[in-house]
Structure 1
Amino acid sequence: GPPIFDRNWGRQEDRSKKIKILPDDLPLLPPSQATHEQLAEANSVFNAHFGVEEETPTMAVATASAGDPKDLLFRSWESDYLCCPTYKPSFEQCLLAVQGKAPFPDGYRLIKSRLYHKNQLCVPEKLRLSYLVGLHEITIPHTGVEKLVQEARRRTHPFANLATRCAEVVAHCSLCQVNKPRH
């Protein structure tokens, strides 16, 4: 398959002596060209090599932001909905409703293969962090935690830990940290 990890991506000079050499058999690919699945595979290879047992919020945000957030806009979410315990039943019933085999579930509809509840986008669990990174980087570029939370609540069907995840996205955004006002 295509290579999945660029050995030099994300390294900082002052940390280079602390980072072990990656395995030679680890394929190379700039993160912006990798699919979500390839990034997840690279992350698990990296974790196994360095003995990381659990993904930290920093690693999750880095993985989510490594790719181009616009990719999330153009790829199908069908498999993500079908793997999501929260939205799978509603998504499946909407698919049947589109074919005329069942009524639409109350308040749900499909627009361009995306599931909406009333006027809010239902984001599958697996895509939530990437979605928030996309909102933060593209839709309301780098406007801080409060505005990201406000916009996410306006656009997105509610999900657990929304404010916490928005805070993680902003806290791990290098551009926001560089431009953060100092008091």
Structure 2
Amino acid sequence: MTKPSDRLNPPQTVQIDRLATTQAIAQQLANLLQPGTILLLEGNLGSGKTTFVQALGKGLGIQIPITSPTFTLIDEYDCGRIPLYHIDLYRLEGEQIHHLHLQEYWRGHDFPLGVVAIEWSNRLPQLPKHYIKIELAIEPATVPQTKPASLTNSEEDAKTDVEIDLEPQSCRQMTFTICGSQYDPIQQYVSSLATPHPLSTQQT
């Protein structure tokens, strides 16, 4: 069996016009994901990281509610097509993250291999060898000037990562950076959705 290569593909950006599109992409990706997949989720509060994982779980056949593991840190779901390990590093830093031994979730020794979805993955002291990084963003012009009434100023409420359903003319972005040849089917799917990334359109 050929070992996966460490090929790092150029970033690809997908323009999103509404919440339902984000959810649909997550569910489509769930059909393609294999045991051992690592998803690195990045983006500001409210960009939709947890919303993405919820839709991903639905696509994997998980019927129970998925919430942000801000305080539990790691939530394990073994009731879908393959296990889902939902990890949130929002409240953690260096040594605290190291002590979680997250690599055990993708080595397959102590836990059955599944999909590992890590919110706030930019806090990882070291990236896994192979991964799919998804950066969720709202274009500045589309960010509401006032906070929705359902949110408060407390960290606990703000960290729910609620995704605001924007008007149809508004735009979100999902930027995928994929490292590892085993994710080629994902790369092909993203390529079918993506617009050229700014870095790829520069003249040499």
Q: TM-score range by the shorter chain?
A: under 0.3
Q: Which has the larger radius of gyration?
A: 1
Could you tell me the TM-score, scaled by structure 1's length? 0.28
Could you tell me the TM-score, scaled by structure 2's length? 0.26
